[in-house]
Protein backbone atom coordinates (compact mmCIF):
# COMPACT_ATOMS: atom_id res chain seq x y z
CA UNK A 1 0.00 0.00 0.00
CA UNK A 2 1.24 3.51 -0.80
CA UNK A 3 2.53 5.36 2.23
CA UNK A 4 1.45 8.85 3.20
CA UNK A 5 3.47 11.73 4.65
CA UNK A 6 1.82 14.56 6.55
CA UNK A 7 3.89 17.70 7.05
CA UNK A 8 2.82 19.37 10.27
CA UNK A 9 4.39 22.82 10.10
CA UNK A 10 3.07 23.79 13.57
CA UNK A 11 3.51 27.59 14.08
CA UNK A 12 6.02 27.88 11.22
CA UNK A 13 7.32 29.49 9.04
CA UNK A 14 7.42 33.21 9.92
CA UNK A 15 5.85 34.65 6.79
CA UNK A 16 3.84 33.97 3.68
CA UNK A 17 6.82 34.16 1.31
CA UNK A 18 8.55 31.37 3.23
CA UNK A 19 5.36 29.33 3.37
CA UNK A 20 4.89 29.61 -0.38
CA UNK A 21 8.49 28.58 -1.02
CA UNK A 22 8.33 25.61 1.33
CA UNK A 23 5.05 24.44 -0.22
CA UNK A 24 6.41 24.73 -3.75
CA UNK A 25 9.59 22.85 -2.84
CA UNK A 26 7.82 19.96 -1.11
CA UNK A 27 4.77 19.66 -3.36
CA UNK A 28 4.32 15.97 -4.17
CA UNK A 29 1.81 13.19 -4.45
CA UNK A 30 1.45 11.15 -1.23
CA UNK A 31 2.09 14.31 0.78
CA UNK A 32 -0.33 16.34 2.86
CA UNK A 33 0.82 19.80 3.91
CA UNK A 34 -0.71 21.18 7.11
CA UNK A 35 0.34 24.84 7.47
CA UNK A 36 -0.90 27.26 10.15
CA UNK A 37 -4.33 28.83 9.42
CA UNK A 38 -3.03 32.15 8.00
CA UNK A 39 -1.17 30.29 5.23
CA UNK A 40 -3.84 27.74 4.30
CA UNK A 41 -5.24 29.59 1.32
CA UNK A 42 -1.86 30.47 -0.19
CA UNK A 43 -0.45 26.99 0.32
CA UNK A 44 -3.65 25.53 -1.16
CA UNK A 45 -3.19 27.71 -4.24
CA UNK A 46 0.51 26.84 -4.52
CA UNK A 47 0.40 23.05 -4.36
CA UNK A 48 -0.47 21.04 -7.45
CA UNK A 49 0.15 17.48 -6.30
CA UNK A 50 0.02 17.48 -2.50
CA UNK A 51 -3.21 17.67 -0.50
CA UNK A 52 -4.03 20.38 2.00
CA UNK A 53 -4.35 19.63 5.71
CA UNK A 54 -5.29 21.63 8.78
CA UNK A 55 -3.61 21.32 12.18
CA UNK A 56 -6.83 21.80 14.11
CA UNK A 57 -10.49 22.80 13.79
CA UNK A 58 -13.46 23.83 15.90
CA UNK A 59 -16.70 21.88 15.63
CA UNK A 60 -19.02 24.83 15.11
CA UNK A 61 -19.22 28.17 13.36
CA UNK A 62 -20.65 31.28 14.98
CA UNK A 63 -19.73 33.13 18.16
CA UNK A 64 -16.45 31.34 19.00
CA UNK A 65 -13.66 33.89 19.12
CA UNK A 66 -10.41 32.61 17.71
CA UNK A 67 -11.92 29.46 16.27
CA UNK A 68 -11.93 28.16 12.69
CA UNK A 69 -14.84 25.98 11.62
CA UNK A 70 -15.05 22.78 9.64
CA UNK A 71 -17.07 24.44 6.87
CA UNK A 72 -14.50 27.24 6.53
CA UNK A 73 -11.75 24.66 6.11
CA UNK A 74 -13.78 22.71 3.61
CA UNK A 75 -14.23 25.79 1.43
CA UNK A 76 -10.44 26.18 1.35
CA UNK A 77 -10.25 22.62 -0.04
CA UNK A 78 -8.74 21.16 3.10
CA UNK A 79 -8.95 17.37 2.85
CA UNK A 80 -7.26 16.24 6.07
CA UNK A 81 -7.78 17.63 9.56
CA UNK A 82 -5.49 16.77 12.45
CA UNK A 83 -7.25 16.50 15.81
CA UNK A 84 -5.95 15.76 19.28
CA UNK A 85 -2.29 16.55 18.69
CA UNK A 86 -0.44 16.26 21.99
CA UNK A 87 0.58 19.92 21.76
CA UNK A 88 -3.11 20.88 21.56
CA UNK A 89 -3.88 18.62 24.51
CA UNK A 90 -1.00 20.00 26.56
CA UNK A 91 -0.80 23.71 25.75
CA UNK A 92 -4.48 24.31 24.99
CA UNK A 93 -5.96 21.94 27.56
CA UNK A 94 -7.84 19.86 25.02
CA UNK A 95 -9.66 17.01 26.71
CA UNK A 96 -10.62 13.67 25.20
CA UNK A 97 -14.17 15.02 25.01
CA UNK A 98 -13.03 18.03 22.99
CA UNK A 99 -11.12 15.74 20.66
CA UNK A 100 -14.23 13.58 20.25
CA UNK A 101 -16.39 16.57 19.25
CA UNK A 102 -13.80 17.78 16.75
CA UNK A 103 -13.39 14.32 15.26
CA UNK A 104 -17.14 13.88 14.76
CA UNK A 105 -17.45 17.30 13.13
CA UNK A 106 -14.68 16.47 10.65
CA UNK A 107 -16.16 13.06 9.82
CA UNK A 108 -19.64 14.54 9.41
CA UNK A 109 -18.23 17.07 6.96
CA UNK A 110 -16.77 14.26 4.85
CA UNK A 111 -13.13 15.19 5.39
CA UNK A 112 -10.40 12.83 6.52
CA UNK A 113 -9.54 13.04 10.18
CA UNK A 114 -6.05 12.39 11.51
CA UNK A 115 -6.50 11.47 15.15
CA UNK A 116 -3.31 11.82 17.20
CA UNK A 117 -2.74 9.53 20.15
CA UNK A 118 0.32 8.72 22.19
CA UNK A 119 1.49 8.10 25.69
CA UNK A 120 3.70 10.36 27.79
CA UNK A 121 7.16 9.66 29.20
CA UNK A 122 5.73 7.82 32.23
CA UNK A 123 4.93 4.87 29.93
CA UNK A 124 8.05 5.03 27.81
CA UNK A 125 9.32 1.63 28.86
CA UNK A 126 5.99 0.17 29.80
CA UNK A 127 4.23 -1.41 26.83
CA UNK A 128 1.10 -2.46 28.67
CA UNK A 129 0.79 0.98 30.29
CA UNK A 130 1.20 2.64 26.88
CA UNK A 131 -1.44 0.33 25.39
CA UNK A 132 -3.94 1.08 28.13
CA UNK A 133 -3.35 4.82 27.82
CA UNK A 134 -3.67 4.89 24.03
CA UNK A 135 -6.71 2.59 24.04
CA UNK A 136 -8.43 4.99 26.41
CA UNK A 137 -7.64 7.92 24.10
CA UNK A 138 -9.05 5.98 21.14
CA UNK A 139 -12.17 4.92 22.97
CA UNK A 140 -12.94 8.48 24.12
CA UNK A 141 -12.17 10.03 20.74
CA UNK A 142 -14.30 7.55 18.81
CA UNK A 143 -17.30 7.57 21.15
CA UNK A 144 -20.44 7.76 18.99
CA UNK A 145 -18.36 8.31 15.84
CA UNK A 146 -18.55 6.32 12.63
CA UNK A 147 -14.75 6.13 12.26
CA UNK A 148 -15.19 6.66 8.53
CA UNK A 149 -12.24 8.37 6.81
CA UNK A 150 -10.18 7.86 9.93
CA UNK A 151 -6.39 7.84 10.08
CA UNK A 152 -4.64 7.44 13.42
CA UNK A 153 -1.25 9.02 14.09
CA UNK A 154 0.69 7.31 16.82
CA UNK A 155 2.94 9.96 18.34
CA UNK A 156 4.50 9.06 21.67
CA UNK A 157 4.82 12.40 23.46
CA UNK A 158 8.37 11.67 24.56
CA UNK A 159 9.47 11.28 20.94
CA UNK A 160 8.09 14.58 19.65
CA UNK A 161 10.71 17.22 18.95
CA UNK A 162 13.29 15.44 21.07
CA UNK A 163 15.51 13.90 18.41
CA UNK A 164 14.83 10.59 20.08
CA UNK A 165 12.32 8.60 18.00
CA UNK A 166 10.49 5.49 19.07
CA UNK A 167 12.02 2.15 18.12
CA UNK A 168 10.42 0.68 14.99
CA UNK A 169 9.54 -2.47 16.96
CA UNK A 170 7.64 -0.56 19.64
CA UNK A 171 5.92 1.64 17.04
CA UNK A 172 4.84 -1.48 15.14
CA UNK A 173 3.44 -3.08 18.31
CA UNK A 174 1.50 0.05 19.12
CA UNK A 175 0.21 0.37 15.54
CA UNK A 176 -1.03 -3.24 15.67
CA UNK A 177 -2.76 -2.54 18.98
CA UNK A 178 -4.38 0.62 17.55
CA UNK A 179 -5.70 -1.32 14.52
CA UNK A 180 -7.15 -3.95 16.84
CA UNK A 181 -8.81 -1.43 19.09
CA UNK A 182 -10.29 0.64 16.25
CA UNK A 183 -11.49 -2.61 14.64
CA UNK A 184 -13.28 -3.53 17.86
CA UNK A 185 -14.78 -0.07 18.34
CA UNK A 186 -15.96 0.49 14.79
CA UNK A 187 -16.49 -1.02 11.39
CA UNK A 188 -13.06 0.09 10.20
CA UNK A 189 -11.02 -3.10 10.22
CA UNK A 190 -7.60 -1.96 9.04
CA UNK A 191 -7.28 1.67 10.03
CA UNK A 192 -4.15 3.34 8.61
CA UNK A 193 -1.70 4.21 11.38
CA UNK A 194 1.03 6.80 10.87
CA UNK A 195 4.07 7.18 13.08
CA UNK A 196 5.18 10.61 14.32
CA UNK A 197 7.97 11.81 16.61
CA UNK A 198 11.45 12.93 15.52
CA UNK A 199 11.14 11.46 12.03
CA UNK A 200 14.13 12.44 9.88
CA UNK A 201 15.60 11.13 6.65
CA UNK A 202 18.04 9.04 8.71
CA UNK A 203 15.29 7.04 10.45
CA UNK A 204 12.26 7.42 8.14
CA UNK A 205 12.90 4.29 6.06
CA UNK A 206 12.85 2.13 9.18
CA UNK A 207 9.30 3.25 10.00
CA UNK A 208 8.05 3.41 6.43
CA UNK A 209 9.14 -0.16 5.69
CA UNK A 210 6.96 -1.59 8.46
CA UNK A 211 3.72 -3.20 7.22
CA UNK A 212 1.83 -1.91 10.28
CA UNK A 213 2.82 1.71 9.59
CA UNK A 214 1.06 3.51 6.73
CA UNK A 215 3.18 6.65 6.74
CA UNK A 216 4.59 9.41 8.90
CA UNK A 217 3.49 12.63 10.55
CA UNK A 218 6.53 14.86 10.31
CA UNK A 219 7.17 18.04 12.27
CA UNK A 220 10.65 19.61 12.26
CA UNK A 221 11.98 17.72 9.25
CA UNK A 222 9.08 18.94 7.09
CA UNK A 223 10.33 22.53 7.47
CA UNK A 224 13.63 21.74 5.74
CA UNK A 225 12.71 21.21 2.12
CA UNK A 226 15.90 19.34 1.20
CA UNK A 227 15.47 16.96 4.11
CA UNK A 228 11.76 16.51 3.49
CA UNK A 229 12.27 15.89 -0.22
CA UNK A 230 14.61 13.02 0.69
CA UNK A 231 11.88 11.54 2.89
CA UNK A 232 9.33 12.02 0.09
CA UNK A 233 11.52 9.99 -2.25
CA UNK A 234 11.09 7.04 0.11
CA UNK A 235 7.33 6.95 -0.46
CA UNK A 236 7.27 7.49 -4.26
Task: List active site positions.
Answer: 85, 155
How would you label 130-145 residue by residue, b for 16+ Cβ within 10 Å and e otherwise? bbebbbebbebbbeeb
- Region from 40-48, 68-76, 131-139, 216-224 binding ligand 13P, contact rule CB under 6 A: 216-224
**Phi/psi-derived region of residue 152, left when phi > 0, alpha when psi is between -120 and 50, beta in every other case:** beta
118 binds ligand 13P (CB under 6 A): no
Alpha-carbon dihedral of residues 145, 149, 155, 156, nearest 10 degrees?
30
199 binds ligand 13P (CB under 6 A): yes
Binder of ligand 13P out of 3, 5, 8, 147 (CB under 6 A)? 8
- Region from 44-52, 91-99, 140-148, 153-161 binding ligand 13P, contact rule CB under 6 A: 153-161
For ligand 13P, the closer of residues 36 and 183 by Cβ is 36
User: From residue 40 to residue 59, what is the string marking binding to ligand 13P with x (rule CB under 6 A)?
Assistant: --------------------
Subset of 78-117 contacting ligand 13P (CB under 6 A): 85
Instruction: Give the shortest CB-184-to-ligand 13P separation in angstroms.
Output: 26
CB-count exposure of residue 120 (10 Å: 0-12, 13-18, 19+): middle
| Contact in structure between 111 and 76 (CB atoms under 8 Å) | no
Output the CA–CA distances (angstroms, integers) from residue 140 to 1, 7, 32, 81, in the order listed: 29, 26, 26, 18
218 binds ligand 13P (CB under 6 A): yes
215 binds ligand 13P (CB under 6 A): no
* Collapsed DSSP state (helix, strand, coil) of residue 62: coil
- Region from 143-151, 167-175, 190-198, 227-235 binding ligand 13P, contact rule CB under 6 A: 190-198
User: From residue 155 to residue 174, what is the string marking binding to ligand 13P with x (rule CB under 6 A)?
Assistant: x----xx-------------
Output the CA–CA distances (angstroms, integers) from residue 91 to 57, 88, 102, 201, 210, in the order listed: 15, 6, 17, 28, 32
Binding site for ligand 13P (CB under 6 A): 8, 85, 155, 160-161, 196-199, 217-221
Amino acid sequence: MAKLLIANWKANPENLTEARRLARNTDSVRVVIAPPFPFLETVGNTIKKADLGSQDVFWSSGAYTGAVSVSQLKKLRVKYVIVGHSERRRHFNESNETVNRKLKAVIDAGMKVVLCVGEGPEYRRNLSGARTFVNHQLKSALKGASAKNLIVAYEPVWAIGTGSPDSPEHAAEMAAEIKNTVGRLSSQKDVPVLYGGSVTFRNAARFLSLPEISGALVGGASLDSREFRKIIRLVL
